[in-house]
Chain A
Amino acid sequence: MSSADASAGVLWVGVTFYAVFGGADFGGGFWALVAGGGEAGRRPRDLIDAAIGTVWEANHVWLIFVLVVLWTAFPTAFGSIFSTLFIPLSLAALGIVLRGSGFAFHATARRLAGRQLAQRLFGVSSLLTPFFMGTVVGAVASGRVPVGNAKGDPVSSWLNPVSLLVGALFVATCAYLAAVFLVSEARRAGAADLERYFTVRALGAAVVAGVVGVAGIVVLHSDARYLYDRLTHEGLPLVIISVLCGAGVLVALRRRATRGVRPLAVGAVVAVLWGWGVAQYPYLLPEKLKIADGAAPSATLTALLIVFGVAVVLVLPSIALLFTLGQRSLIEETKRPKPTQ
């Protein structure tokens, strides 16, 4: 494997982590929005706050990681994507600002009059940010980003069936992941009512994500033939794994299984992502820019891989520590819903 391919692999690892952790985080915001601001929605909202509180910051550093690796290892692709797709990317950035500040302020200033507003902002931007990111992914995957400084169409590049469907798929996936995680959180808090609450929603989101996914494949067939062909050949095993995992989640949820639901749900998402990666290979921008052609000079790639190695050694254990302390309730948000008696 060349160091360019290895760097692409590193990029994809970052994308995967962001999709899982960031995705669950966005999904949490989505469910907080759906739960509403009133008294009825308070218990689910508290559970979401408690689940996200300690980890949201770390979850979102993955995004920075992805951006930095992209512009370091593949600067041309970065410049082309960002200049052509500046509208959805600006909107996503806007969503990140609103979301981050909404969270920071509603979590620390609970008794403020503006708390409801902060919550609403948090919820709406949790919905919009993944949507716009999805449209960007759709634009890249369907080959709508040419090489160069703002060479693509600023509007039709991301306002098209593939992009919109991928956007919707992102939202549904986030909601699905979050709901599955929240089922476990509710169980840990001993809140049977919330466990039921999120099981129903996880099932719903899984079905929606599945339907959107199938619709996506149909649209790809007519709109992004390159990707469709590769997904149904090279990428097929991964697509099948994803479908199987997804089906497994449905069954496990219905049976109220206590184990395996989370790994299966994560597996479904990861498999689809890597399926997409395999389908795009060897292109960064399908049929426009190959990984080998868009890669940085080799010394940069080597340095980047070394940094990544160091990151694996330092960061992963720290993340594990954070999650472990959280699971053992050694660190916690100050508020979590009471167990049901």
Chain B
Amino acid sequence: MAFTLGFHIVLASLGVAFPAMMLIANYRGLRRADPDALLLAQRWSKVAAVTFAVGAVTGTVLSFEFGLLWPAFTSRFGDVFGVLFAIEGIFFFLEAIFFAIYIYGWKRLSPWAHFWTGVPIAVTGLGGAFSVVAVNSWMNQPQGFTPSSGDVTKVEPLKVIFNRAVPYEVPHMILAAYLVTGFLIASVYAVGMLRGRRDRYHRLGLLIPLTVAAIVTPIQFAVGDTAARSIADDQPVKFAAMECVQKTATHVTEYLGGRCTSSGVKGGIGIPGFDSFLVGWSTDTQVTGLDSVAPDDRPPANTMLHLSFDAMVGICTALIGLGLWLGIAWWRKRDIPQTKWFLRATAVSGVAAVVALECGWIVTEVGRQPWIVYEFMRTEDAVTQASGVWVTFSVVMALYTVLGAALVVTLRVMARRWREVEVEEDDVPYGPRPGGSPTVVSGAQ
């Protein structure tokens, strides 16, 4: 699950935010009669189609895994969190339908009608993200069901849907999706520009997503900060493991980096009292430590948790810096910064954002261990009793590796083809295809 999810989450983020980027380009293209923007929108819609399809496949596998890997979890709590997935189902449906209309509608629908068929994709992406992440939030802050042990007999769906972690986890994930998508797309065009393709098309391809990402990143920082403060209250053990706080205390030191050992952080930079300050705006604030629960109720791999959290925050900070760079240059010269260093920074920002995304999931998931449903069900009790599922699991791993590779290769081939054939017939975004009768299509082959 962890592996397939780690894979899915990247594609899911693209599925949530890519349509918005493509619509922005489409809007700009129509409004300003800008052929470069239209061409971008059209190509992005093709890329989004591929990633969406692979995202759908990996998502379907996830739903199988609920039964294949976690039958006890689903048997006991399926009736509690299931409604959220049912809601998500509606969003998926609509997303898939309008995606199909938009992608296949470029040639025949009127330009603005076509644009509007794309809008539901972006909206449903948000709705879908809400529903799934709300399930994860519920696993962190379970509520809305009784009794607390044994079979659930009473459910309060609204309490499940709007659980305590939703207000910070859902916005955090949605912003993460926008930010990852923005930096990823921008990084592709940054690489192109570094290789000397500095035409307007490439600059626009960099500017649109990077602007979106630059706006989103500082907001993400604020939301993440709120999340951290909230889990210090709601999920104190997770927080203690992230910050490697062994004993409940006041005036707790904040460490950046370092290894987590049973006697505190080794290595790393310490700022005395700062952890307490961050939690409660005063160094007198008491921070709950790992010693508040029995050893086998504590999360594993604290060093990894601690470093993941630091990496997420650090990368977010660096990305804010990149956004500022762009903002200042734009404000002064109405152009993207001209130095190669800016392009290099943008080129790595995509990978960095993905790393932050994965780190975030490590924090929220591994930090919850040993619980699958916080304080209600342990992961070891959720798992299937069938022996031999590890075979399935290994096959799936191998398959995903191939899938990932195939995805990258395909996208690269698409890009190369677009570069080689400067103006292909396909590249006229709107209008009837030259010389084709409605059903006959001249030769892609």
Contacts and interface: CB of A to CB of B under 8 A. Distances in A.
Contacts of B109: 330-331
B395 interface: yes
Interface stretch (A228-236, A277-285, A303-311): A303-311
B291 interface: no
B86 A72 contact: yes
A57 B386 contact: no
B61 A75 contact: no
Contact of A103 (B53, B61, B64, B399): B53
Interface majority SS (helix, strand, loop, mixed), chain B: helix
Nearest to B60: A96
A89 interface: yes
A75 B60 contact: no
Contacts, number: 264
Interface in A76-105: 76, 78-84, 86-87, 89-90, 92-94, 96-98, 100-101, 103-105
A67 B96 contact: no
Contacts of A308: 86
Nearest to B80: A300
A297 B441 contact: no
Interface string B153-185: 111110000000000000000000000000000
B380 interface: no
Contacts of B417: 111
Interface magnitude class on chain A: 35 or more
A154 interface: yes
Given A75-B77, A82-B68, A325-B101, A97 B399 contact: yes
Nearest to A72: B82
A214 interface: no
A193 interface: no
A307 B87 contact: yes
A61 B128 CA distance: 13
Given A97-B57, A105-B410, 5 more contacts: A73-B79, A299-B157, A311-B90, A333-B104, A339-B439
Interface of B: 46, 49-50, 52-54, 56-61, 63-64, 66-68, 71-72, 74-80, 82-83, 85-90, 92-94, 96-101, 104-105, 107-109, 152-157, 384-386, 388-389, 392, 395-396, 399-400, 403, 406, 409-410, 413-414, 417, 426, 438-441, 444-445
Interface of A: 53-55, 57-58, 60-61, 63-65, 67-69, 71-73, 75-76, 78-84, 86-87, 89-90, 92-94, 96-98, 100-101, 103-105, 108-112, 114, 149-150, 154, 188-190, 296-297, 299-300, 303-304, 307-308, 310-311, 314-315, 318-319, 321-322, 325-326, 329-336, 338-339
